[in-house]
Amino acid sequence: MTNKIAIFQYLKNLYNEVSFTHNYIYGFTYHGMVYMVITDSKIMDAILVLDKASRGAGYSLRFKPSNKIKEYMMTLAPIAICTADFFKGTVEASRYNKGEVFEKLVTEYYGMAWEKDSVPFTDAGDIEVNGVAYQIKFEGATFTNERLIKSLIGEA
Dihedral sign (CA 132, 135, 138, 139): negative
Neighbours of 34 (CB within 10 A): 26
Tell which wins on pLDDT, 8 or 156.
Answer: 8
Percent of the chain with pLDDT over 90: 83
Can you give the residue range of the structural domain that contains 125? Answer: 4-152
Total number of domains constituting the chain: 1
d(CA 126, CA 21): 10
Q: Is the pLDDT of residue 16 over 80?
A: yes
- Paired strand residues for 79: 36
Tell which wins on pLDDT, 4 or 74.
Answer: 74
Tell which wins on pLDDT, 52 or 154.
Answer: 52
pLDDT score recorded for residue 94:
96
pLDDT score recorded for residue 1:
46
Neighbours of 66 (CB within 10 A): 10
pLDDT score recorded for residue 156:
57
